[in-house]
Chains A and B, each alone.
Chain A
Amino acid sequence: MRLLLTPALLVVAVFAAALSALLRYSVLEFVPGSLQTGGLSLGNFTGIMSRQYLGAVWDTVVLSAATTGLTLVASYPVAYVLARTPSPRVRSTLLVLTLAPFFTGAIVRTYAWVLVLGNTVVTWPVPMLFTARGVLVGLVHFSMPTMILLLAAAISHIDPVYERAAASLGASPARVFRRVTLPLSMPGVVSGSVIVFAWTLSAFATPELLGGGRVKMIANVVRDLALDSFNWPGGAAFAVFALAVTLGLLAAVGRLTAGSERSA
């Protein structure tokens, strides 16, 4: 078994080397204007505590939460129809519409919103492009396919017998949804929400193209620090911070869901 695992482990080792280079730089002092670094220092991390960076962190968390919530609400109906529709044509169409965006990449998908939000089709009553609400729209649009697929998978596992039983006992469709469908689809709701939230925390292309320099999420700040200010140590520290937040989030959710599984 060891032999079979070795090549893959080598690849992971390369990845780990990249991450340890990141970690190493995060604790080195930044020498402005050059790639050389000073000695060991926690200055980069204390630098994160400034208003400007914490602001970006807060904005990222708020945007990610809003994105997750809106995406969930927008995706559920589509996922339900995708999972339950008896018509193979409807199912096929919805599937193609949901899957195709995955294969077109972030730039193609975000550029479409640069056009739409940029007053090309309609002139918006409030500015959309280069604002937080524009970025939110882009993020929701980007996350919907993922959420739809995860929700649809979960819903498709629910035996329709339960829903029919509830209906036959006199429950209205809304009640069936609230008492039967939604609770039974919870694993999908949770996993979809976690994945969308975690992904959105690291979002880069959408805020970069739709944010106009005013809406910066954590990933954009890392890029600015590393590629514009040439501050590799500072960018590394912020990136390590983002990594820690993501891992912490996943660990917390993992613990919560593990707990609920045991009590079920």
Chain B
Amino acid sequence: MLARLVVASLLALGLASTPAHAQNALVISVWGGNWKDTVEKVIGKAFTAKTGMPVEFEVGGTIDRLAKARVAKGSPLVDLTFTTSHVGRLYMSDGLFAKLDMAKLPNAKEVAKEALRSDYQMGGWSYVYTIVYRPDLVKEEITRWSDLWKPSLKGKIAMPDFDPSHIITIAALMEGGNEATWQKGQEKLKALKPSIAAFYSTDAQSQDLMKTGQAPVQVMLSVNAYHLQEQGIAVKLVQPRDFPGIVGIDCMSVMAGTTKADAAHQFINLALSKEIQTELAKALKAGPVNGGASVPAAFHGQLGIFLTPAEWKAGAYIMNDEVRAKNLPAWREWFTANIVK
């Protein structure tokens, strides 16, 4: 018996010392829940059908995945990353992305030039960050950003803890500044503190807070709000009358040092095609980047479903990516020190 135990243990140790490999698959870093499901069903399936290569996913919050990528720098554990356009700049300044080879992305010609956020990032879809609330739990109608400061909303609001750029920018705009002169909004932000019930670090937590009614008013992105509606939770998206919602653009990038750069480019190219873009817009209820994609008529005019990138500037507020990325660490620190605690 002893001998058998020894053999089994040596076997286990042997297995253990070999690095854990996922041999053949294209590994994609993306947010969890409905995001991963959609990318898997809409793009992943088509990609595997076309190339025969399976697709795997690393799931996590925006900053979580950035931290993991930093630790793996040089020999990345993922091949392609979905992230927001401004956080993508943080990846870039860390040297984590590879420059996109536009020759390998023929479908990019059909895409609006604003979608190419930088040499390293190709936009996939757009949405808007705005106020979303449950009318069944919040009787008073919310129509403006400034409504968030109302005493009746004390302890009812949730917002992301990983990215305070939206509320910081809105507060700055309210005080006559913008994201570059954000200090102008600091006092206004501090005044919002008692209204905050919780902070969420992932989309799933945000949806949970809304579902349970713990935080029935949120600064949330439109795609997640629509997802909640699809699941039967009646939430209302607000087109604020005082200042617009903040545009969000999710981008795809190839990781520096990946061995599957070609496959990654193929994936991106597929994601940019008319057909896939149409499916993505439908599944996520987001704005496509390919002008040739057809958005169902029922979606026209709905918040966050921009028909073309030209609508970004018209319908909402686009923050300067560089300024946003540069300030994000300082914003997070200030926010954590002054608002979260």
Q: Do A and B bind each other?
A: yes
- Which residues of A does B touch, CB under 8 Å? 32-35, 50-52, 55-56, 118-120, 123, 127, 129-130, 212-214, 216, 227-230
Q: Which residue of A lies closest to B199 (CB)?
A: A213
Contact of A228 with B198 in the complex, beta carbons under 8 Å: no
Report chain A residues within 8 Å CB of B208. 118
> Given contacts A33-B90, A118-B214, could you give 7 more A-B pairs where the C-beta distance is less than 8 Å?
A33-B93, A34-B94, A55-B341, A56-B341, A118-B212, A213-B201, A229-B329
Contact of A230 with B67 in the complex, beta carbons under 8 Å: yes
B155 within 8 A of A: yes
Report chain B residues within 8 Å CB of A50. 337
Contact of A51 with B161 in the complex, beta carbons under 8 Å: no
Report chain A residues within 8 Å CB of B333. 229
B119 within 8 A of A: no
Report chain A residues within 8 Å CB of B336. 52
Report chain A residues within 8 Å CB of B341. 51-52, 55-56, 216
Q: Which residue of A lies closest to B205 (CB)?
A: A212
B197 within 8 A of A: yes
Contact of B337 with A51 in the complex, beta carbons under 8 Å: yes
The smallest C-beta distance from B204 to any residue of chain A, in angstroms, reads 11
Number of CB contacts from chain A to chain B under 8 A:
62
The smallest C-beta distance from B6 to any residue of chain A, in angstroms, reads 15
Q: A33-B93, A118-B214, A227-B67 are in contact. Are A212 and B199 (CB under 8 A)?
A: yes
Docked CA distance A32–B67 (Å) = 13
Contact of A212 with B198 in the complex, beta carbons under 8 Å: yes
The smallest C-beta distance from A264 to any residue of chain B, in angstroms, reads 45
The smallest C-beta distance from A36 to any residue of chain B, in angstroms, reads 11
B317 within 8 A of A: no
The smallest C-beta distance from A263 to any residue of chain B, in angstroms, reads 44
B162 within 8 A of A: yes
The smallest C-beta distance from B64 to any residue of chain A, in angstroms, reads 7
Contact of B340 with A213 in the complex, beta carbons under 8 Å: yes
Q: A52-B341, A212-B205 are in contact. Are A130 and B197 (CB under 8 A)?
A: yes
Docked CA distance A32–B327 (Å) = 13
* Size bin of chain B's contact surface: 20 to 34
- Which residues of B does A touch, CB under 8 Å? 63-64, 67, 70-71, 90, 93-94, 155, 161-162, 196-201, 205, 208-209, 212-214, 329, 332-333, 336-337, 340-341
Which residue, of A34, A52, A213, A228, has the highest number of chain B Cβ atoms within 10 A? A213
Contact of A212 with B200 in the complex, beta carbons under 8 Å: yes
Docked CA distance A52–B333 (Å) = 10
Report chain A residues within 8 Å CB of B71. 35
Contact of A119 with B212 in the complex, beta carbons under 8 Å: yes
The smallest C-beta distance from B212 to any residue of chain A, in angstroms, reads 4
Contact of A130 with B67 in the complex, beta carbons under 8 Å: no
Contact of A35 with B64 in the complex, beta carbons under 8 Å: no
Report chain B residues within 8 Å CB of A227. 64, 67
Contact of A129 with B212 in the complex, beta carbons under 8 Å: yes
Report chain B residues within 8 Å CB of A118. 208, 212, 214
Q: Which residue of A lies closest to B71 (CB)?
A: A35
Which residue, of A35, A51, A120, A127, has the highest number of chain B Cβ atoms within 10 A? A127
Contact of A213 with B213 in the complex, beta carbons under 8 Å: no
Docked CA distance A33–B94 (Å) = 8
Docked CA distance A191–B26 (Å) = 53
Q: Which residue of B lies closest to A114 (CB)?
A: B208
Docked CA distance A35–B332 (Å) = 19
Report chain B residues within 8 Å CB of A35. 70-71
Report chain A residues within 8 Å CB of B63. 228
Report chain A residues within 8 Å CB of B337. 50-52
Q: Which residue of A lies closest to B213 (CB)?
A: A119
Report chain A residues within 8 Å CB of B93. 33
Which residue, of B90, B94, B200, B212, has the highest number of chain A Cβ atoms within 10 A? B212
Docked CA distance A216–B341 (Å) = 9
The smallest C-beta distance from B317 to any residue of chain A, in angstroms, reads 25
Q: Which residue of A lies closest to B63 (CB)?
A: A228
Contact of B340 with A214 in the complex, beta carbons under 8 Å: yes
Contact of B198 with A214 in the complex, beta carbons under 8 Å: yes
The smallest C-beta distance from A60 to any residue of chain B, in angstroms, reads 13
A-B contact pairs, 19 of them (CB 8 A): A32-B329, A33-B90, A33-B94, A34-B70, A34-B94, A35-B70, A51-B341, A119-B213, A119-B214, A129-B212, A130-B197, A212-B200, A212-B205, A212-B209, A214-B198, A214-B340, A228-B67, A229-B329, A229-B333
Contact of B212 with A33 in the complex, beta carbons under 8 Å: no
Docked CA distance A212–B209 (Å) = 9
Q: Which of A55, A56, A127, A230 contacts B197 (CB 8 A)?
A: A127
Report chain B residues within 8 Å CB of A32. 329
Docked CA distance A34–B95 (Å) = 11
The smallest C-beta distance from B293 to any residue of chain A, in angstroms, reads 35
Name the 5 nearest CB pairs between A and B, nearest first.
A213-B199, A212-B198, A130-B198, A119-B212, A118-B212
The smallest C-beta distance from A232 to any residue of chain B, in angstroms, reads 10
Contact of A120 with B212 in the complex, beta carbons under 8 Å: yes
Contact of B94 with A130 in the complex, beta carbons under 8 Å: no
Q: Which residue of B lies closest to A50 (CB)?
A: B337
Report chain B residues within 8 Å CB of A228. 63-64, 67, 162
The smallest C-beta distance from B161 to any residue of chain A, in angstroms, reads 5
